């Protein structure tokens, strides 16, 4: 039977600046600041691991990836993972969902059980 993934109730505060670092590769500083604030204010919702990966269009990383391996070990030991920070995509424009923080946690969760509900904060890109 797959191990149940345990989650913290809220993201770790330093994950927001990490999300901002990722977003800086995609948008200008004003959009980074506004979107990061929107992420911080977003409620926690739950989405399946498989749906997050599909919407993001990202490949599933293998258990051999060192970051994924570290999270798999944490899951096996009963540790809690931080919720994921997501920026909503735009289907009509073919813009995928962006995992602003937590890609390796999503992959580790998927490898544990692809139907796992993952707590996320989901915000629209604010330009």
Residue 111: per-residue pLDDT: 98
Ranges of residues in the chain whose predicted pLDDT is under 70: 1-2
Assign a CATH topology to domain 6-123: 3.90.1530
Quote the Cα angle for 56-122-106, to 5°: 50
Please tell me the total number of residues recorded for the chain in this structure: 127
Counting DSSP H helices and E strands in the chain, the numbers are 5, 6
Residue 102: per-residue pLDDT: 99
For the entire predicted model, the pTM comes to: 0.95
Tell me the CB-side half-sphere exposure of residue 15, using CA atoms within 13 A. Answer: 20
Residue 1: per-residue pLDDT: 45
pLDDT in tens, 83-112: 999 999 998 888 999 999 999 999 999 999
């Amino acid at each position: 039977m797959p191990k149940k993934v345990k989650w913290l109730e809220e993201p770790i505060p330093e994950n927001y600046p990490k999300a901002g670092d990722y977003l800086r590769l995609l948008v200008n500083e004003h959009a980074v600041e506004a979107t990061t604030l929107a992420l911080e204010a977003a409620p926690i919702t739950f989405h399946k691991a498989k749906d997050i990966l599909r919407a993001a269009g990202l490949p599933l990383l293998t258990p051999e990836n060192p970051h994924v391996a570290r999270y798999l070990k944490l899951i096996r030991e009963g540790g809690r993972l931080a919720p994921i920070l997501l920026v909503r995509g735009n289907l009509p424009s073919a813009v995928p969902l962006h995992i602003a923080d937590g890609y390796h946690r999503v992959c580790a969760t998927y490898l544990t059980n692809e139907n796992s509900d993952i707590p996320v904060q989901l915000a629209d890109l604010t330009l």
